[in-house]
């Protein structure tokens, strides 16, 4: 069962919370972060993307960057930009995007649960990305990035969270420039805290990483290093836990994660379309952007025209991985026709999150940068759970979750 605990969050005063809050470090470039932080000395980008305060040619993975992050974090604390709560709390975090709300519980989740498979994964991690987060955590002694977890709904947990929101004022409530509203409550009453902890231990057999595999893996590796160096002497030490926000599955929506490819692998347009006919029912649908309407249906943009591709029987299996549309696309088009064997390393393919819309696919192809684009129907949350439960991993770039939690609103100190 899931082990979670409250913690003393490091967070900004309400008056400046909106100015401190920053998008997750891994969804924007250093240049974009520098632009967003311009004129804002309290932006959390000074901690999460601290290279913005160093010369432009600085290696973003150099120790200098991590030390700058630590210095900026300490400065924020000393100047009152961030303060630590006096007692351990849970935090309720509600996001509203385009009228749809999702509400999660910010807590410290057990590293042991991650190591033992109670916290389930669905993606491989890359050592270089792990090392980046490891160095950031070790140097700042803080987990600044949230791991987004999901779980099958437990009505009793939902009831406590709903009741707390109804009866207590939020500590933060603001709408960011992108139109997403962020509202946060602090749960500090011992009875409510104990009830939440007990319910997760009794009623939640597993949680699932929706977003943040590298952050979770890095927290585990840092804890392991601390333990090997004799720095872990008590099970309740903060380093044995990591920063998570856990959402009930019923409130989550996964967006599409689309693909663009640079060339047709030496094929003419006509030859490429002919080869598609072996595995798909292909229909030209016009100039206007078209989104897939169901599983196993794709739309494709090529030479100014949209096509609908429906997978034929026999092109996929019914196991948790084989039934995924990303697998169908990979096996029957990207690999078989376009010769893309490893989507993680092949420079001919790129990925476009659904938040950017289909027009981004049109833009990338019409510019001549890419030759063809594929739009996919989103993976369902149940498919994600099924794959994680089976011990398998999804193909790369299978899921895109929105809205995303902001960095800087709640940080977990590991020491």
Q: State phi, psi for 345 to the nearest 5 degrees.
A: -120, -20
CA dihedral 392, 398, 404, 409 (to 10 degrees): 40
pLDDT in tens, 47-64: 999 999 999 999 999 999
- When the candidates are 3.90.79, 3.10.450, 3.30.1760, 3.90.320, the CATH number that belongs to 257-377 is 3.30.1760
pLDDT in tens, 106-160: 999 999 999 999 999 988 888 889 999 999 999 999 999 999 999 999 999 999 9
Whether residue 170 is predicted with pLDDT greater than 90 in this model: the reply is yes
Whether residue 397 is predicted with pLDDT greater than 90 in this model: the reply is no
**Contact status, residue 358 vs residue 405, Cβ threshold 8 Å:** no
Q: Examine residue 403 and say whether the peptide bond preceding it is cis (omega within 30 degrees of 0).
A: yes
Residue 123 is predicted with a pLDDT of: 86
Residue among 133, 161, 154, 284 at smallest CA distance from 223: 133
Tell me what the mean pLDDT of segment 215-219 comes to: 97
How far is C-alpha 318 from the geometric centre of its chain's CA atoms?
27
What b/e sequence results for 250-265 when a residue is b if at least 16 CB atoms lie within 10 Å of its CB, and e otherwise? ebbebebbbbbbbebb
Tell me what the mean pLDDT of segment 287-292 comes to: 94
Tell me what the mean pLDDT of segment 294-314 comes to: 96
How many other CB atoms are there within 10 angstroms of residue 29's CB atom?
10
Which of 21-35, 68-82, 303-317 ranks highest by mean pLDDT? 68-82
Whether residue 356 is predicted with pLDDT greater than 90 in this model: the reply is no
How sure is the predictor about 375, in pLDDT bands with cuts at 50, 70 and 90? very high
Q: State phi, psi for 106 to the nearest 5 degrees.
A: -85, 125
- Whole-number average pLDDT of the chain: 95
- Give the integer Cα–Cα distance in Å for 142 and 152: 29
Residue 392 is predicted with a pLDDT of: 87
Q: Where in the chain is the domain with CATH 3.30.1760?
A: 257-377
Residues in the chain, overall count:
415
Residue 126 is predicted with a pLDDT of: 83
* pTM, rounded to two decimals: 0.88
Tell me what the mean pLDDT of segment 371-383 comes to: 94
pLDDT in tens, 312-341: 988 898 888 899 999 999 999 999 999 999
**Contact status, residue 94 vs residue 75, Cβ threshold 8 Å:** no
CA distances to 191, 318, 327, 349, 387 from 321, rounded to whole Å, are 43, 8, 7, 21, 7
């Amino acid at each position: 069962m899931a082990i979670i605990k409250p913690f003393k969050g490091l967070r900004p005063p309400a008056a400046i919370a909106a100015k401190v809050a920053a998008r997750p470090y891994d969804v924007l470039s250093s240049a974009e972060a520098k632009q967003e932080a311009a004129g804002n000395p309290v932006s959390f980008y000074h901690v999460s993307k601290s290279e913005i305060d160093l010369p432009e040619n600085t290696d973003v993975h150099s120790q200098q960057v991590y030390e700058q992050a630590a210095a900026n974090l300490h400065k924020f604390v000393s100047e009152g930009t961030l303060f630590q709560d006096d007692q351990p709390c849970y935090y309720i975090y509600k996001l509203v995007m385009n009228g749809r709300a999702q509400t999660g519980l910010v807590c410290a989740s057990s590293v042991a649960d991650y190591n033992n498979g109670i916290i389930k994964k669905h993606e491989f991690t890359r050592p270089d990305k792990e090392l980046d987060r490891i160095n950031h955590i070790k140097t700042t002694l803080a987990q600044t990035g949230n791991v987004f977890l999901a779980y099958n709904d437990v009505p009793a947990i939902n009831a406590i969270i709903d009741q707390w929101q109804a009866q207590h004022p939020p500590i933060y409530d603001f709408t960011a420039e992108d139109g997403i509203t962020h509202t946060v409550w602090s749960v500090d009453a011992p009875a409510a805290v104990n009830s939440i902890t007990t319910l997760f231990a009794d009623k939640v057999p597993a949680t699932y990483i929706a977003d943040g595999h590298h952050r979770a893996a890095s927290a585990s590796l840092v804890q392991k290093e601390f333990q090997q160096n004799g720095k872990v002497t008590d099970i309740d030490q903060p380093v044995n836990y990591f920063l998570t926000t856990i959402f009930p599955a019923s409130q989550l929506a996964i967006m599409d994660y689309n693909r663009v490819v640079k060339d047709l692998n030496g094929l003419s347009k006509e030859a490429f379309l002919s080869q598609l006919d072996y595995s798909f029912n292909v229909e030209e649908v016009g100039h206007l952007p078209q989104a897939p309407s169901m599983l196993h249906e794709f739309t494709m943009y090529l030479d100014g025209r949209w096509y609908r591709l429906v997978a034929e029987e026999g092109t996929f299996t019914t196991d948790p991985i084989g039934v995924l549309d990303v697998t169908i696309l990979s096996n029957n088009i990207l690999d078989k026709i376009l010769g893309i064997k490893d989507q993680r390393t092949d420079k001919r393919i790129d990925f476009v999150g659904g938040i950017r819309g289909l027009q981004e696919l049109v833009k990338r192809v019409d510019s001549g940068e890419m030759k063809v684009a594929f739009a996919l129907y989103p993976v369902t949350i149940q498919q994600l759970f099924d794959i994680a439960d089976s011990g398998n991993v999804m193909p790369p770039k299978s899921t895109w979750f929105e809205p995303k939690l902001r960095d800087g609103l709640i940080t977990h100190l590991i020491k």
